[in-house]
């Protein structure tokens, strides 16, 4: 097994491990909470570019090295200009939605192995992946943003209704609550929820199986499924703009401030039960 690390930040890294030339794993390791911020964007971009351009890779699995967290929300302690000043990506979209769109379109099968919280950006990365498998006991998916006065920015309004239907998508997005693995499976938010002890072996077996197939057949089949199922960029673009606009609104700032005072961005109950806590802000 050959391991290659993407550029790391002071607070953590997104590690790329090549199990073989055909099967890669991307491990999210940004302790203590796997918060995604502008420092993570070049790391993810490097990996997505490699997936687009490598002639041999056929499958990539996203997983986490941080206990309790697959990938959480965007970094609200980062300077806004560290995000807003970044140039658009190759699709013309801003960098985070650009990379998620490119991941969905890459000629590689992407699988999210969700153990812990997939909150905000984590949910959006999972939705941009081709398949999602969750720990029945430990996975939590959440689009929490509306509860904090925000608009989600990474494409869930375009992707979720296609995946789980309009009513359930609105329940997830507007309810802003935590969705455990078994309910996520029932709704179709994930492909399957498996017993936690079986998740890794199942995902590894599926990834290894697909990696043994012909790359051209995989890529062409995925391309045709994409035509029938992926949202156009015109539906993705407004979400990031709406997110940035919402961050500046007084209502959102007040709610984020309240969350910060209660322990947001720090290990503890707010991050562990974010769905519960955003539901308490207005009471």
Question: Does 283 have pLDDT greater than 90?
Answer: no
Residue 145 is a catalytic residue? yes
Q: Where are the alpha helices (DSSP H) in 106-195?
A: 121-128, 156-164, 166-175, 181-187
pLDDT at 257: 97
- Rounded average pLDDT over 106-121: 98
- pLDDT, tens only, 36-66: 999 999 999 999 999 999 999 999 999 999 9
| Given the residues 5, 145, 220, 235, the one annotated as active site | 145
Residue keyed to tokens 């199990």: 19
The whole-chain average pLDDT of the chain stands at 95
| Given the residues 124, 185, 239, 271, the one annotated as active site | 124
pLDDT at 282: 80
User: What pTM, to 2 d.p., does this model score?
Assistant: 0.95
- Rounded average pLDDT over 253-259: 97
For residue 279, name the pLDDT band (cuts at 50, 70, 90): very high
Enumerate domains of the chain plus CATH numbers.
2-198+221-278 (3.90.226.10)
- pLDDT, tens only, 198-255: 999 999 999 999 999 999 999 999 999 999 999 999 999 999 999 999 999 999 999 9
Question: Does 4 have pLDDT greater than 60?
Answer: no
pLDDT at 11: 45
- pLDDT, tens only, 90-99: 999 999 999 9
Residue 271 is a catalytic residue? no
- Rounded average pLDDT over 14-32: 97
**Alpha-carbon separation of residue 248 from 20, 149, 151 (angstroms):** 45, 10, 11
Backbone angles phi and psi of 121, in degrees to 5: -60, -35
């Amino acid at each position: 097994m050959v391991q290659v690390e993407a550029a790391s930040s002071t607070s953590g890294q997104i590690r790329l491990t090549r199990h073989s030339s055909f099967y890669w794993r991307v491990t999210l390791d940004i302790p203590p909470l796997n918060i995604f911020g502008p420092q993570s964007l070049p790391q993810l971009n490097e990996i997505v570019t490699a997936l687009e351009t490598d002639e041999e890779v056929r499958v990539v699995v996203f997983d986490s090295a941080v206990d309790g967290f697959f990938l959480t929300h965007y970094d609200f302690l980062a300077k806004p200009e560290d995000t807003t000043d970044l140039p658009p990506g190759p699709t013309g979209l801003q960098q985070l939605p650009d990379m998620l769109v490119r991941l969905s379109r890459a000629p590689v099968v992407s699988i999210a192995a969700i153990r812990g919280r997939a909150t905000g950006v984590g949910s959006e990365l999972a939705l941009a992946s081709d398949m999602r498998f969750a720990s029945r006991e430990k996975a939590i998916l959440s689009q929490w943003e509306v509860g904090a006065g925000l608009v989600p920015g990474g494409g869930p309004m375009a992707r979720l209704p296609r995946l789980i239907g309009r009513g359930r998508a609105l329940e997830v997005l507007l309810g802003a609550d935590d969705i455990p693995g078994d309910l996520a499976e029932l709704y179709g938010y994930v492909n399957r929820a498996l017993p936690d002890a079986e998740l890794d072996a199942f995902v590894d077996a599926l990834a290894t199986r697909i990696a043994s197939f012909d790359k051209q057949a995989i890529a062409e089949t995925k391309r045709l499924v994409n035509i029938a199922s992926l949202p156009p960029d015109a539906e993705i673009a407004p979400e990031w703009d709406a997110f940035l606009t919402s961050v500046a609104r007084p209502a959102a700032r007040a709610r984020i401030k309240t969350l910060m005072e209660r322990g947001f961005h720090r290990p503890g109950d707010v991050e562990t039960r974010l769905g519960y806590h955003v539901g308490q802000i207005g009471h």
